[in-house]
Structure 1
Amino acid sequence: MTSPIDPSGLGGTLADVVAALGRAQAPSGDQEEQEPPIGTGEAADGRVRVRAVPPGRIENLEMEPSVLRLSGEELAREIESAVNAALADLQGRAVATAGSADLGALTDQLKDIQLDAQRQFAKLTASLVEAQEQLTRRAGDR
């Protein structure tokens, strides 16, 4: 007779997946907490400067007084150019920061978890087959 099926083994497998994903998302212990990326942009020969922060907000806009001599249309184009440059810089920095996760280690951990889950399911299936056979034998004894 086999031992009762332990469903906690299957739940443990799912807990392992969640833990592995959590470790991949958390900063590693040997790195300091990363500062959020900041994007910067300039226009009008550096007389218009913009700083952008996640999730795509303009944190700072600086204009030298000489830029106010431009027409309203020219000034608007220069500000738009600086803002777009800052947002593009922010996007590039955010992608670089997000891409630094160690996906190779996560893949290896998930492969190990998958193999363990396959063993657990095989054990569960074998126990169910044996239980069914025992029920069939008992029904035949009556």
Structure 2
Amino acid sequence: MANTMSPGDKVLMFETGHFATLWHKMALRLDIQPEFLGLPGYEGWRHGVQADMIEARLKEDTNHALKAVCVVHNETSTGVTSDIAAVRKAIDAAGHPALLIVDTISGLASADYRHDEWGVDVTVSGSQKA
């Protein structure tokens, strides 16, 4: 798999709150085809990423159509922080080549984040938060 994203590519996202929802909308505007996993309703906004759900979905993707897994590290709207190391372990356990892309705009300076140690491929952040 090439380590690039192009219009029409499929990605797996996990809904954890407002910023995950905005990331989903941005992907649609960029002609990326997101599949949005999550817990039902606003209950999902009270929990971080469920790595077991990501692993199960990636195991189903035997032709590797999903090019990336996109998750939010820390949701500003709820304060929920996701276990990014567990997401990497889920991708690896599924034997899937998807990139791990993490939005840590509000988490980088306020919560533990280890890009290299956790095997993150792309980190998106900014200096305006935390």
Larger radius of gyration: 1
Q: Same fold (TM over 0.5)?
A: no
Interval containing the TM-score (normalised by the shorter chain): under 0.3
User: More helix by proportion, 1 or 2?
Assistant: 1
Provide TM-score, normalisation by structure 1. 0.20
Taking structure 2 as the reference length, the TM-score comes to: 0.21
Higher relative contact order (CA 8 A, sep 6+): 1
